[in-house]
Structure 1
């Protein structure tokens, strides 16, 4: 299966359950991997035969910057829905890291596959 991906997308958003997390935006790092068949786009050289990663990128930015979710799990699920809205997408893997959330670890995060 072919893949389209967006790596290391940094977004600042309100996320978390602690009172201090609800007051200040935090940096999150998204990695998105969309499984799809790219053979038609490879032959036609036409974006309509592929998944427009710029559109996915813009929609994820809008979701993350405007959201006030408590859990990374919810944000990951909504991100997956954006990716799967394109009928050419077969499946998606969404990873969201929350750097700085744990003092002795690089970052906690979530990964979902739909």
Structure 2
């Protein structure tokens, strides 16, 4: 159990990081959160989507999704 992936700890790290930081770019925040998610060596795949409501006039939201695949060691993004 000591080496198990603990989702509660990951969530706490994300909350602490977001509350402590000031992010000018959605890309930076999304990348940081993905980095926290894949920090454990057991994570083989992770996908993070962050929305910023009302970021643009006449738009409900702007969002960015980044995903990581350990098998390919790749990060992919989509707006």
TM-score by length of 2: 0.75
Give the SS at the match of 2:49.
Answer: strand
CA distances 1:60-84 after superposition (whole Å, capped 9, x unpaired) = 0011111112111111111111111
RMSD between aligned alpha carbons? 1.6
- Higher relative contact order (Cα pairs below 8 Å, separated by 6+ residues): 1
* SS in structure 1 of the partner of residue 14 of structure 2: helix
CA deviation vs aligned residue, 1:75-109 (integer Å, no higher than 9, x gap): 11111111111111012111000012223222001
Aligned length: 68
Question: Which structure 2 segments of 5+ residues have no match?
Answer: 69-79
Provide structure 1 residue ranges, at least 5 long, that are not aligned to the other structure.
Answer: 1-46
Q: Which runs of 4+ in 1 moved over 3 A?
A: 47-50
* Map of 1:105 onto structure 2: 59
For the pair shown, which has the larger CA radius of gyration, 1 or 2? 1
> In the aligned structure 2, how far is the partner of 1:104 from the partner of 1:51?
41
